[in-house]
Amino acid sequence: MFFRTFAVVLIVNRKIKVLIYMINLVLFGPPGSGKGTQAEKLVEAYDLLHISTGDLFRFNMKNDTPLGQEAKRYITKGELVPDSVTINMLKARVEETPDVKGYIFDGFPRNINQSEHLDKILAERGGQVDGLLMLDVEEKEIVARILNRGKTSGRADDNDEEIIRNRFQVYQNETSPVFDYYDKQEKSHKIDGIGSIDDIFARLSDVIDSL
């Protein structure tokens, strides 16, 4: 599969300039929907940069950056890290990778405020969110997947059905409005998240290739 770029040829002062447009995707879905697995395949197929919120937090805290230190102050007190910290981490990552063909955002945005800031960050570079791809998996399947993962993950929360269901409800209540935000821009796409890894990847690719 080859990555498709979009180019516009301009003639400025008798010189030809070719503008290449990136493609930026939000990979969306509840915990256990398979975002991480599909992100790896999409990165390889479309030559995009995968930006995971979890990876950003781990990198900044491990390297004791100013943003990592700020995040730790909230986490050690058992408080939620403010949007401003997460947004600044993501903005810094985008700014230090100006030459990529596009991004896959995973775990961001989580709410409308983050969505609006993501739009601004990309607009500053002449880009936009081209598509939100939601892996649609029902709660029953999510619970089964995570409980199965818990057999080898070593995470206590992967073995507690009540916690798993609570995480799903948090997603439904707080994060799913992001789908509606981009749906109003006609950018949201719901993809069946049930089936083999390759089948799901093919569905995602069909949508991306149509953008």
To the query of whether residue 203 is one of the catalytic residues in this protein, the response is: no
Both tokens of 139, joined, read 């709660």
Instruction: Bin 47: left if φ > 0, else alpha if -120 < ψ < 50, else beta.
Output: left
Catalytic-labelled residue, pool 93, 110, 145, 203: 110
Pairing status of strand 6-12 against strand 15-21: antiparallel
Is 13 within 8 Å of 118 (Cβ atoms)? no
Which member of 93, 167, 187, 203 is catalytic?
167
Q: Is 72 a catalytic residue?
A: no
Name the active-site residue from 41, 91, 149, 190: 149
Catalytic residue status for 167: yes
Using CA of residue 81, residue 189, residue 173, residue 151, what is the dihedral sign? Answer: negative
Residue 80 near residue 86, CB atoms below 8 Å: no
Q: Is residue 4 annotated as part of the catalytic site, yes or no?
A: no
Given the residues 17, 73, 120, 155, select the one marked as catalytic.
155
Q: How far is CA 129 from CA 116, 126, 184, 187, in A?
A: 11, 11, 13, 8
Residues involved in catalysis: 35, 110, 149, 155, 167
